[in-house]
């Protein structure tokens, strides 16, 4: 009988943010795969939990080498609890390779949900959260960062990034240069911890603030691109759809692509296509 892989949501800073289910999972797991054993012992002390399971380190540099042993435990019937330093495993943290391997082997994968820096930062940012995308960590080099931002320049959804404190000022400067100095954003520092700080403002204002140096865990939230007025004629809209179809898209997918690109109602694009077909 196969075991079960449990993904545990660890607190971002405050141990009291986790519920009794994580305490139970820690106390009863056969194997605890953790990013940092010191943090595990600290968290267990804070939660007043005694665990008896075997502890295995599972961080970026050993993730693949630990995979066979953890899979052996799972296929032998063990319950494996995966804990990262903070937040949910596999979200820009170790865990994806183990989750994928367990799923492929037909092993049950479940979670004890908990805090997430992504959704916490979104909630307090003051920016629209009805639609958003998570972009993970930004590239280390300025040129690569600017290329990433350039690819997101037309992204209408609110964007969330992780960034290291010593690269934050440069990242904000690059974002302002590519996305515009007035684009609104929020820097969320040390979420839920004693020195939590939320800075809101334009990218240019935040870059100037960060230039003096910032410490702690950083989550950056950036507003999506503003809606642009589209002045295409019906003939131009029909031509856009025809170009999509010529590249292999179906009529339905072609219309959807033009709607997403222009922000116009689907009926407007559809009517333009019908009008172009009418002699």
pLDDT digits (tens, 9 = 90+) for 250-265: 999 999 888 878 777 7
The CATH T-level fold of domain 4-115 is: Cobalt-precorrin-4 Transmethylase; domain 1 (3.40.1010)
58-64: long-range pairs with CB below 8 Å, 24+: 58/33, 58/34, 58/82, 58/94, 58/95, 58/98, 59/35, 59/94, 60/94, 63/94, 63/97, 63/98, 64/97
Q: Do domains 4-115 and 118-222 have the same CATH topology?
A: no
What is the maximum alpha-carbon separation in the chain? 79
Which pLDDT value is given to residue 201? 96
Q: Which residues, at least 6 apart from 236, have a Cβ–Cβ distance to it below 8 Å? A: none
- Give the CATH class of 118-222: alpha beta
Model confidence pLDDT, tens digit, residues 8-45: 999 999 999 988 999 999 999 999 999 999 999 999 99
230 — pLDDT class (breaks 50, 70, 90) = low
Collapsing DSSP states into helix, strand and coil, what is residue 45? helix
Which pLDDT value is given to residue 139? 96
All structural domains of the chain with their residue ranges: 4-115, 118-222, 234-277
Specify the DSSP element, H or E, that contains 253: helix 251-262
Is the pLDDT at 140 greater than 90? The verdict is: yes
């Amino acid at each position: 009988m196969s075991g079960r892989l449990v993904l545990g949501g660890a607190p971002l800073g405050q141990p009291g943010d986790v519920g009794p289910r994580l305490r139970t999972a820690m106390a009863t797991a056969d194997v605890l795969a953790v990013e940092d054993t010191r943090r595990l012992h600290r968290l267990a002390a804070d939660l007043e939990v005694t665990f008896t399971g075997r502890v295995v380190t599972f961080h970026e540099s050993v993730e693949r080498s630990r995979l066979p042993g953890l899979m052996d435990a799972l296929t032998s019937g063990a319950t494996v609890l995966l804990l990262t330093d903070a937040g949910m495993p596999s979200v820009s943290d170790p865990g994806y390779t183990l989750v994928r391997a367990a799923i492929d082997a037909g092993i049950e994968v479940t979670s004890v949900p908990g805090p997430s820096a992504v959704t916490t930062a979104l909630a307090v940012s003051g920016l629209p959260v009805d639609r958003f995308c998570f972009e993970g960590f930004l590239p280390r080099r300025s040129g690569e960062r600017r290329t990433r931002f350039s690819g997101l320049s037309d992204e209408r959804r609110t964007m969330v990034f992780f960034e290291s404190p010593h690269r934050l000022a440069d990242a904000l400067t690059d974002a302002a240069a590519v996305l515009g100095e007035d684009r609104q954003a929020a820097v969320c520092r040390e979420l839920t911890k004693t020195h939590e700080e939320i800075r809101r403002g334009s990218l240019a204002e935040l870059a100037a603030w960060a230039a003096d140096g910032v410490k702690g865990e950083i989550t950056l939230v950036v507003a999506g691109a503003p809606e642009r007025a589209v002045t295409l004629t019906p003939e131009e809209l029909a031509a856009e759809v025809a170009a999509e179809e010529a590249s292999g898209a179906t009529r339905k997918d072609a219309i959807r692509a033009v709607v997403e690109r222009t922000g116009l109602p689907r009926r407007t694009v559809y009517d333009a296509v019908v009008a172009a077909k009418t002699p």
